[in-house]
Amino acid sequence: MQSPNPPISNVDELLAADNVTAIVALFADAHPADIADALERLTPLKRPQAWTHIPEDIKGEVLAELSEGVFKNLAHELDKGELIDAIKVLDIDDIADLIPDMPEALLADVLFAVDVETRNNLGEVLSYPEDSAGGLMNFDAISVRDNVSLDVVLHYLRLKTSLPDNTDSIFLVDRNKRLTGILPVNILLTAPGGDQAIKYAVESPVSFQCLDSELDVAKAFADYNLVSAPVVDDVGRLLGRITIDDVVDVIRDQAEHDIMAAAGLREEEDIFAPVARTSRSRTIWLAVNLVTALLGSWVIGQFEGSIQKLVALAVLMPIVASMGGNAGTQTLTVVIRGMSLGTISRGNVFNVLKKEALVGILNGIIWAVVIALIAALWYQDVHLGLVIAAAMVANLFMGAIAGVCIPIFLEKMNIDPALAGGVALTTVTDVVGYFSVLGLATLLLL
């Protein structure tokens, strides 16, 4: 890649060497996103030092590019006046993004510092959920009346010295400000100027309402290859627009969320946060896990007598639990993805359940044969092998059923399946795995 900016890699060393000139020179040429990356790579103590060397005019954009955790941390460390100066010049949607992570006192002062129009627009954006189309909305849409000619549109645009970023279309509205179509900007470059704008307009364009989910917005941008799209109110009046740069952030954040949530982490986790804070933030997850692990242990505890008689059970039972957990996690992952992509819906969920259950049984039989052979050879005991085999089939079957049902149930309960699905699933497969090995052995072998 050829980037206009040299990579910023050694801020840490330059700070240590107190080489201010070099840092200032580095930051002077750099893109705000690259400076933000450099800050993220520093330990929290060093970030405020580096901050002082960022050019004043891009400090706000650097803040907007930081991850939530790092911004939160910096917002507490830096001088309030300086923060306000940096933030107040940002685009409204960028300010709105920062607000949930601001300390209360800073928020009040930021709202006081911005001009009246910005404050009103901010109020509107903040009145919608953070993860809605309204929360992504910007107010820099260019709109013209739909009964004008292309020449008039061109003349109007020339009156502006520049167009907002990602302006790939002009929104056409009727006299009541209702959206009637969108005019691709590039038409203005190729079509005869005397033609009516409406002639070239996309007449029923994709548009969003403020309460649409940002995931639906992201899917629509990806499916229909949009660069910008209008947001309208419930009678179709143009309110603002959403642009691809913000949608890309939504898609990346969503991916981040799903991956982090599966390990019980928040997407804002700051890798260089102090040990105590990190430890605390991860504690709840471990507590949940302890409870589920205790449940498994309780099941084992019911069969202490059996284990004492046949220690091989203690050796083999984790295999059955683990295989069930892995097979079930595969089903769970496929189902969660299918739900979030919309491939799985109420109409076909029963097909999915049937199929996954069959896959579970089939894989269960395959691995039952393998484990039966291993167990029978290891302990020279065919009956033990058969018991483990039966438990394996039972647990892979249950893992498949749980893998389909758990995310559907969690979604109904409004619990994020990406967060809670894995832990719920392995609880089921641990309990069923231990219970089927120990229970069957107690019934049949002892």
Q: Which of 73, 363, 429, 436 binds a second copy (CB under 8 A)?
A: 363
Q: Interface with a second copy includes 255 (CB under 8 A)?
A: yes
CA distance 196 to 145: 11
With 0-12 / 13-18 / 19 or more C-beta atoms within 10 angstroms meaning exposed / middle / buried, residue 290 is: exposed
Identify the three-state secondary structure at position 354.
helix
Q: Give CA separation, 202 vs 149, 179, 229, in Å.
A: 15, 11, 12
Q: Interface with a second copy includes 428 (CB under 8 A)?
A: no
Neighbouring CB atoms inside 10 A of 127's CB total 10
In the region spanning residues 269 to 308, those forming contacts with a second copy, defined by CB under 8 A, are 269, 271-272, 275-276, 278-279, 282-283, 285-286, 289-290, 292-294, 296-297, 300-301, 304, 307-308
Q: Which of 105, 347, 380, 414 binds a second copy (CB under 8 A)?
A: 347
Token code pair at residue 215: 């995931």
Q: Which of 45, 248, 284, 377 binds a second copy (CB under 8 A)?
A: 248
Q: Interface with a second copy includes 395 (CB under 8 A)?
A: no
Token code pair at residue 87: 């933030």
Q: How far is the CB of 95 from a second copy (least distance, A)?
A: 17
Residue 212: closest CA among 128, 141, 139: 128
Q: How far is the CB of 344 from a second copy (least distance, A)?
A: 7
Rg over alpha carbons for the chain, rounded to the nearest Å, is 29
Q: Which stretch binds a second copy (CB under 8 A): 47-55, 93-101, 110-118, 153-161?
A: 153-161
CA distance 67 to 287: 27
Do 211 and 128 form a contact (C-beta atoms < 8 A)?
A: yes
With 0-12 / 13-18 / 19 or more C-beta atoms within 10 angstroms meaning exposed / middle / buried, residue 130 is: middle
Q: How far is the CB of 147 from a second copy (least distance, A)?
A: 20
110 or 399, CB closer to a second copy? 399
CA distance 423 to 325: 10
CA 263 and chain centroid, separation:
13
Q: How far is the CB of 308 from a second copy (least distance, A)?
A: 5
Region of residue 18 (phi > 0: left; psi between -120 and 50: alpha; otherwise: beta): left
Q: How far is the CB of 365 from a second copy (least distance, A)?
A: 10
24 or 185, CB closer to a second copy? 185
Q: Interface with a second copy includes 161 (CB under 8 A)?
A: yes
CA distance 188 to 173: 17
In the region spanning residues 82 to 101, those forming contacts with a second copy, defined by CB under 8 A, are none
Q: Interface with a second copy includes 174 (CB under 8 A)?
A: no
CA distance 317 to 312: 8
Q: Interface with a second copy includes 178 (CB under 8 A)?
A: no
Q: Interface with a second copy includes 414 (CB under 8 A)?
A: no
Q: Interface with a second copy includes 6 (CB under 8 A)?
A: no
In the region spanning residues 318 to 337, those forming contacts with a second copy, defined by CB under 8 A, are 318-319, 321-323, 326-327, 329-330, 332-335, 337
How many residues in the shown chain lie near a second copy by CB under 8 A?
Answer: 132
Q: Interface with a second copy includes 143 (CB under 8 A)?
A: no
Q: Interface with a second copy includes 216 (CB under 8 A)?
A: yes
111 or 307, CB closer to a second copy? 307
Q: How far is the CB of 198 from a second copy (least distance, A)?
A: 16
Strands (E), 3-150: 143-145
Q: Interface with a second copy includes 148 (CB under 8 A)?
A: no
Q: Interface with a second copy includes 127 (CB under 8 A)?
A: no
Q: Which of 116, 223, 235, 413 binds a second copy (CB under 8 A)?
A: 223
Q: Interface with a second copy includes 196 (CB under 8 A)?
A: no
Pairing of strands 169-173, 179-184: antiparallel
In the region spanning residues 35 to 54, those forming contacts with a second copy, defined by CB under 8 A, are 37, 40-41, 43
For residue 105, the surrounding DSSP H or E stretch is helix 104-113
Exposure class string for 141-170: b at 16+ Cβ within 10 A, else e:
bbbbbbeebbeebeeebeeeeeeeebbebb
Token code pair at residue 121: 């627009």
Residue with token string 């020449």: 151
Q: Interface with a second copy includes 16 (CB under 8 A)?
A: no
CA distance 287 to 281: 11
Q: How far is the CB of 393 from a second copy (least distance, A)?
A: 13
Strands (E), 307-434: none
Q: How far is the CB of 92 from a second copy (least distance, A)?
A: 16
Q: Which of 52, 345, 350, 446 binds a second copy (CB under 8 A)?
A: 345
Q: Interface with a second copy includes 235 (CB under 8 A)?
A: no
Token code pair at residue 159: 């009156």
Q: Interface with a second copy includes 266 (CB under 8 A)?
A: no
Q: How far is the CB of 72 from a second copy (least distance, A)?
A: 16
